[in-house]
Amino acid sequence: MSDVAARLTAALGAEVVTTDIPERNHHDWSGLPPVAPLALIRPRSTAEVSVALALCHETGTPVVPQGGLTGISGGAHPVAGAVALSLERMNRVLAVDPQMATLTVEAGCILQSAQEAAQEAGLMLAVDLGARGSCTLGGVIATNAGGNQVLRYGMARDHVLGLEAVLADGTVLTSMNTMIKNNAGLDLKQLFIGSEGLMGVVTQAVMRLQPRPTHSATAFCGCADTGAMLDLLARTRAALGPALISFEVMWPSFYDFMRAGIEATHPLSGPHGVYVIIEAGGFDVGLRERLENCLADAMESGALADAVIAASAREERALWAVREAVAEYGRILGPLTAFDVGLPLECMAGAVAQLEAGIATRWPGARALSYGHMGDSNLHLVVNVPQAGAEQPAGAIKAFVYGMIRDLGGTVSAEHGIGAIKRDYLGYSRSDAEIATMRRLKTALDPHGILNPGKGFAP
């Protein structure tokens, strides 16, 4: 056992610190090769997180914070010589306050458990993503996760009212604000939201809850092409206003391949150039009718070729089945290089066509699957080069894709963060002055640079 592991064990006990590390803590969802951490710390309280960090700060030991390990950018992936600090035991819902419409959780609380606690109180935690059953609130906050309802409710940042974090030197910073308005000085929680574990370890949070919509309607649509889909987006925005909750898009490259992979039935009668899931939710009895009218108008104008509206909750879930099948990539697609880029919508049609064509030309036989949260101008692209096997030409694929995104004025990360896998491309979306300022803030909070070294904007 290393000196540090021995000192951590002496300070926190063998219940909390282990060098017999489960396989799941050797990697996250980034696909990077597994790495064994020096030790695994599983604190049960903020005080134990503080003790662990103070000791790592003193000894200059790198620390990788881990939540549910569903992050796709390698932010929670262990690095050699670092200890992993998992929040998995700090997983309680601490309180739900229906009057203030708030939910207080420990950072290791699984998103779905928090959603269910809100629902039991007649309210809704409106952060939602495919990894809901495994990702933690701490990870969601640290990545400023997006998901399926950003169009209506915003990113994770928009749901956080208060937060407790432990700084690298063990200082506990408790800002568990529960009020929507609080302009007393700087809003320090913002330093930790979206910081990918570089600025401190989130231990608790106060989340803002929403009223649960009383009516919902889900449509599955086929459009002739990307231009028509964007026309449909503008029309549904205008017709539904704040009742438009999701506008999820799948190009045939994704939809046909994944539908075959999960053997799902196609809800429309024929093939189309782009598929869209529209989800509406609100308090208006006439919501479904408004969606029907909107789709009828779109069909008349040519923006929409065909559509079906779910008649039951079961049918609603079935319409989402292919879009939610991304957790099955490992089985259906194999090794992949994944992208989560943002682009101005006016570039979307050209970009998707050029990206798919450029990949097909450079790597004949490659699969490039395109889909995304189009209401947020967020495009996901996953690429698999079958003949390359596990040794995907990731560097060359990234150089091609990110080069195009930079030239179009987009962002290399719309929602998954920079982590370990996009560090070389941060400068494509942020200026030198922006990166230097991020590093000054990092140095102020973590002077020994122990938190997630070599990730994100860390030097």
Q: Which of 37, 43, 146, 342 binds ligand FAD (CB under 6 A)?
A: 146
Q: Which is nearer to ligand FAD, 208 or 380 (CB)?
A: 380
Q: Which of 38, 96, 161, 201 binds ligand FAD (CB under 6 A)?
A: 201
CB of 281 to ligand FAD, least distance (A): 17
Q: Of the ranges 1-9, 67-75, 183-191, 391-399, which one interacts with ligand FAD (CB under 6 A)?
A: 67-75
Q: Which of 31, 62, 78, 147 binds ligand FAD (CB under 6 A)?
A: 147
Q: Which of 197, 267, 342, 410 binds ligand FAD (CB under 6 A)?
A: 197
CB of 204 to ligand FAD, least distance (A): 9
d(CA 42, CA 24): 14
CB of 187 to ligand FAD, least distance (A): 17
With beta carbons less than 8 A apart as the criterion, state whether 369 and 305 touch.
no
| Residue 262 is a binding residue for ligand FAD (CB under 6 A) | no
Q: Which of 51, 82, 87, 287 binds ligand FAD (CB under 6 A)?
A: 87
With beta carbons less than 8 A apart as the criterion, state whether 333 and 386 touch.
no
| Residue 342 is a binding residue for ligand FAD (CB under 6 A) | no
d(CA 5, CA 81): 11
Q: Of the ranges 167-175, 246-254, 357-365, 411-419, which one interacts with ligand FAD (CB under 6 A)?
A: 411-419
| Residue 143 is a binding residue for ligand FAD (CB under 6 A) | yes
Q: Of the ranges 1-9, 193-201, 237-245, 290-298, which one interacts with ligand FAD (CB under 6 A)?
A: 193-201
| Residue 194 is a binding residue for ligand FAD (CB under 6 A) | no
| Residue 136 is a binding residue for ligand FAD (CB under 6 A) | yes
| Residue 67 is a binding residue for ligand FAD (CB under 6 A) | yes
| Residue 452 is a binding residue for ligand FAD (CB under 6 A) | yes
| Residue 273 is a binding residue for ligand FAD (CB under 6 A) | no
Q: Which is nearer to ligand FAD, 25 or 177 (CB)?
A: 25
Instruction: Let me know the angle formed at the C-alpha of 151 by 208 and 257, rounded to the nearest 5 degrees.
Output: 120
| Residue 202 is a binding residue for ligand FAD (CB under 6 A) | yes
HEC readout, the chain: CCHHHHHHHHHHCCCCEECCCCHHHHCCCCCCCCCCCCCEECCCCHHHHHHHHHHHHHHCCCEEEECCCCCCCCCCCCCCCCEEEECCCCCCEEEEECCCCEEEEECCCEHHHHHHHHHHCCEECCCCCCCCCCCEHHHHHHCCCCCCCHHHHCCHHHHEEEEEEECCCCCEEEECCCCCCCCCCCCHHHHCCCCCCCCCEEEEEEEECEECCCEEEEEEEEECCHHHHHHHHHHHHHHHHHHEEEEEEECHHHHHHHHHHHCCCCCCCCCCCEEEEEEEEECCCCHHHHHHHHHHHHHHHCCCCEEEECCCHHHHHHHHCCHHHHHHHHHHCCCCEEEEEECCHHHHHHHHHHHHHHHHHHCCCCEEEEEEEHHHCEEEEEEECHHHCCCCCHHHHHHHHHHHHHHCCCECECCCCCCCCCHHHHHHHCCHHHHHHHHHHHHHHCCCCCECCCCCCCC
Beta 367-373 vs 378-384: how paired, if at all?
A: antiparallel
| Residue 287 is a binding residue for ligand FAD (CB under 6 A) | no
| Residue 12 is a binding residue for ligand FAD (CB under 6 A) | no
Backbone angles phi, psi at 282, to 5 degrees: -175, -155
Q: Which of 48, 88, 196, 248 binds ligand FAD (CB under 6 A)?
A: 196
Q: Of the ranges 130-138, 181-189, 285-293, 355-363, which one interacts with ligand FAD (CB under 6 A)?
A: 130-138
Q: Of the ranges 179-187, 220-228, 310-318, 413-421, which one interacts with ligand FAD (CB under 6 A)?
A: 413-421
Q: Which is nearer to ligand FAD, 68 or 222 (CB)?
A: 68
Q: Which of 12, 38, 72, 221 binds ligand FAD (CB under 6 A)?
A: 72
Q: Of the ranges 36-44, 93-101, 133-141, 259-267, which one interacts with ligand FAD (CB under 6 A)?
A: 133-141
Q: Which is nearer to ligand FAD, 24 or 362 (CB)?
A: 24
Q: Which is nearer to ligand FAD, 259 or 288 (CB)?
A: 259
Q: Of the ranges 113-121, 137-145, 172-180, 298-306, which one interacts with ligand FAD (CB under 6 A)?
A: 137-145
Residues 6+ apart with CB under 8 A from 96: 102, 103, 104, 117, 118, 120, 121, 123, 209
d(CA 74, CA 458): 14
Contacts with ligand FAD, 28-57, as mask; x by CB under 6 A: xx----------------------------
| Residue 310 is a binding residue for ligand FAD (CB under 6 A) | no
| Residue 279 is a binding residue for ligand FAD (CB under 6 A) | no
Residues of this chain that bind ligand FAD (CB under 6 A): 28-29, 64-72, 75-76, 87, 107, 129-131, 135-136, 138-140, 142-143, 145-147, 196-197, 201-202, 326-327, 415-416, 419, 452
